[in-house]
Amino acid sequence: MSTAVQDINRDAAGSAEAQRAEIERVFAKQQAYALRLRTSTAAERVAKIKRLKEMVLDRAEDIYKACYEDFRKPEAEVDMTEILPIVMEANDAIRHTKKWMKDKRVRPTMAMLGTQARLHYEPRGVCLIISPWNYPINLTLMPLVSAIAAGNTAILKPSEMTPHCARLMEDMMGELFDEQEVATFQGAVETSQSLLAQPFDHIFFTGSPAVGKIVMGAASKHLTSVTLELGGKSPVVVDKSANLKKAVGSLVWGKFANNGQTCIAPDLTYVHEDIKDAFVEEVKASLERMYGSIDGIENNPDYCRIVNNKHYGRIKHLLDDARERGANVVAGGLHDDAQDFLAPTLLTDVDREAEIMQEEIFGPLMPILTYSDVDDAIADINSRPKPLALYVYGKDDRVIERVINNTSSGGVGINTAMMHYLHGNLPFGGVNNSGIGNAHGEFGFKTFSHERAVLRDRFSSSFLMQPPYTPFTRKLIQWTMKYFV
């Protein structure tokens, strides 16, 4: 090994060691400050959320620029999928944090007559928020709103895949907060490992199931609670009773917004065989209405790019593998390696063993499968890990309820795609392979809080059952057993 290479390796090791020390320093500082935040008032927390909201709106132009530089995301999509969700989450917390913080009275059971019980919401403490690259601003700052509302400190670890957005958030958080309350660390795997080595009180991770398992494993060493927002192959069932134009318009937007790089994007589309041809034609027409000719979509400013060449190569491989196994490309397929560009692509006759049928696509490929009996679609859905979302399009409520009642998913959309994410009064989260725990609104507040049971004895008779166990005491216990059994 040359001296120059040795120097580079030594510098890299030194830099990693310096960051580990800095993480430990900031973590210790937040541990101390978290104790002060246990008694913070609703007004104090709301004031911080208001400042965060105002900064997001004030820095909108910077957010547009960062998202464009990272993956050419159009401003309209930035507004709708990055800025608006944060503002809505902040508004909800501003209006309701005081109510959420209030102790909840709990009625006594028969055995607890003479006592008073309540639930007290206390902050978890020092929280780690690890966010992904597909919606880098939204998926970092929305959970931060919940963490602040619940009275925690937070360390943010944005994705290195979107460096412009990560740098912008570091700058914004540094301007808004002291590091003892909110701090940001940038980096790749080594940074994440150094952070996960700390005994956080809670970890909120958004990303893939594979990395989620690593995070959960690291958290187990400290018995740290986790919220995992993961993903999976979110299925779509299109019944022959569906309003095809409306259904396809919703589905196409949900599938190809952000170039398909969405954890709840439709992944596998099951279409009743009677409407397959009409469905394919309507998808083509809908794409043309939204983006113009598919052949010219490369120049459309409303269609963003795959985040980097690595992910582009992965998605391109899924397409090539499906083709080699006999899949038909009925629309799209155009690509440009230099731009990480891949047009919206519709695939039919896809081999069930193709790689695109096994892993989450996370890109602009739409495999279209057919069924004659909805039970066949349900069986295929149930043969796979539980997804983050499931969508059903149709007017026949019997079919819709059959799909919902016989499958499992984090959330469900009926005649809509992805919009349940924006409903602040619904929990957002997965199940098993697609995640653990919930986010948004009061559910997010509870995620970052510990529900503490508080019981006060006023005039209960429980002391009568304490030792010594005299004949009278034993009879009282026996009478109590008979009463409750």
Contact assessment for residue 354 and residue 387, using Cβ atoms and an 8 Å cutoff:
no
The CA distance from 196 to 98, in Å, is: 32
Q: Provide the pairing of β-strand 365-371 with 389-393.
A: unpaired
Helix (H, G, I), strand (E, B) or coil at 125: coil
Q: Please say if 229 is a catalytic residue.
A: yes
The CA distance from 367 to 388, in Å, is: 18
Which of these is catalytic: 89, 263, 304, 360? 263
Which of these is catalytic: 75, 82, 229, 442? 229
Helix (H, G, I), strand (E, B) or coil at 19: helix
Q: Please say if 263 is a catalytic residue.
A: yes
Half-sphere exposure of 389 (CA within 13 A, CB side): 26
Query: How is 302-357 classified by DSSP, letter by letter?
Result: TS---SSHHHHHHHHHHHHHHHHTT-EEEE---EEGGGTEE--EEEES--TTSGGG
| 226: Cβ contacts below 8 Å, ≥ 6 apart | 202, 203, 204, 205, 215, 216, 219, 436, 437
Buried b (16+ CB within 10 A) or exposed e, 392-406: bbbeeeebbebbeee
Closest CA to 421 of 301, 265, 271: 265
So which residues are the catalytic ones?
Answer: 229, 263
